[in-house]
Amino acid sequence: MAKFIRRLQRIGSSILVTLPKEWVDANNLDKGSQVELETGQDSVSISANKETRATKELVISYPLPKEENIVADITGAYLLGYDILEITSRSIIPAKDREEIRNSMRRLVGMEIIEETASHINMQFLLDATTLNPAKILKRMSSIALGMYDDVLTGLGSDDKSNLQTLSKRDVEVNRQYFLLVRLIRSTLVDTRLANAFNLENIDVLDYRVAASVLENAGDSIVELSDFIFNSSLSKEYSTKIYDVAKDFNRFASKAIEAFTRPDRLLAIEAISMHKQYEKRLGLLRTALGKKQIPLDFLDLVYMFERIAQSWADLADLVQPIYNE
């Protein structure tokens, strides 16, 4: 058995190592071939994997037709599960377009530029899909969004609302996880190897697609809420009334995401019950002030908090009921 020494290299956020040419040639491997890695505590072994699906490659000719957009094309190819994207041009790719391409990479987890010349850009998805976990990705989306929600509440109950202006940047990470999860879900529908690795039936895959969309929209709604609060002139009295109810939201939301990812119908029933109680308390805010004239901003805020809560309630509703056989 031959031994080789290799130096690790960094490309983007990934660490790469080259394989011995003799071993690559002996196993008839080439660019785009897949290998299987098995890790130990302080070791890793690599074997030629003959059973993996073929690498999906896409070549994009540049410049694009007027109606096309390079960022949209790259994002669409990523979501469709392409592993290698090549942008080729007969002339130099303009610096402005090149910067747009680089910026699009920051939105796509696992996609890195691995080769670049003046007229050619080669991008590759460097993560092994079988090592990813849809439940963990969805939980991460929920965790980031709920962290944003907590900061919105802090801004609502505080005189200092400066933190509300930064939430849109954190929503970018929710979107990144959303794109990764959608890519994974779509790949699972056409790759039984992934479906088996994740232990997901077709109905589960579809539910994850819905759940991902729900949380992505929830992140957008929280950013919208933060902007509304930042620009609102609602009095402390009214802000406090909403804050006292909305502060209990995380308990219900955490239970809802846990119920979906396990999945656990009994936990989902608890979450649904908690949501109904929460919704009732928010609704009472509209009538608790009696004949007193209620500011429009107050009613709008109550509605926005209700809409955000509904997102996590929708997750709990996706958990399949228990039927007696």
Tell me the per-residue pLDDT of 84-119, one tens digit each, with 9 for 90 and over: 999 999 999 999 989 999 999 889 999 999 999 999
Residue 79 and residue 37 share a domain: no
Residue 140 and residue 108 share a domain: no
Residue 324: predicted pLDDT: 55
Residue 172 lies in a domain: yes
Residue 3 lies in a domain: no
Residue 135 and residue 120 share a domain: no
- Mean pLDDT, residues 146-171 taken together: 90
Task: Please report, to the nearest 10 degrees, the dihedral formed by the alpha carbons of residues 260, 214, 79, 11 taken in order.
Answer: -80
Residue 213 and residue 201 share a domain: yes
Residue 1 lies in a domain: no
pTM attached to this predicted model: 0.81
Residue 204 and residue 263 share a domain: yes
Q: What's the CATH code of the domain at 156?
A: 1.20.58.220
Q: For residue 78, what pLDDT band results from cuts at 50, 70 and 90?
A: very high
Residue 234: predicted pLDDT: 87
Winning range, highest mean pLDDT, from 3-17, 32-46, 256-270:
256-270
Q: What's the CATH code of the domain at 122?
A: 3.30.110.20
Residue 323 lies in a domain: no
| In the chain, beta strands by DSSP E | 9-11, 14-16, 35-39, 44-48, 57-62, 84-89, 111-117, 120-125
Question: pLDDT for 271-323, tens place per residue?
Answer: 999 999 999 999 998 887 666 678 889 999 999 999 999 999 999 999 988 66
Distances (CA, A) of 301 to 156, 221, 267: 10, 12, 29
Residue 87 lies in a domain: yes
Residue 42 lies in a domain: yes
Residue 194 and residue 61 share a domain: no
Task: Please report, to the nearest 10 degrees, the dihedral formed by the alpha carbons of residues 187, 192, 193, 195 taken in order.
Answer: 70
Residue 120 lies in a domain: yes
| Contact indicator for 219, 114 with CB cutoff of 8 Å | no
Cis before 321 (ω within 30): no
Q: Which of 164, 269, 175 is nearest to 215 (CA)?
A: 175
Residue 194 lies in a domain: yes
Residue 190: predicted pLDDT: 82
- Mean pLDDT, residues 143-154 taken together: 95
Last residue of a domain, one of 127, 156, 172: 127
Long-range residue pairs from 317-323, CB within 8 A, at least 24 positions apart, any chain: 317/268, 317/272, 318/207, 318/210, 318/211, 318/260, 319/259, 319/260, 319/263, 319/264, 319/265, 319/267, 319/268, 320/203, 320/263, 320/265, 321/265, 322/265, 322/266
Residue 123 and residue 134 share a domain: no
Q: For residue 40, what pLDDT band results from cuts at 50, 70 and 90?
A: low
The domain tally of the chain equals 3
Residue 207 pLDDT > 70: yes
Residue 159 and residue 180 share a domain: yes
Domain that holds residue 77: 57-127
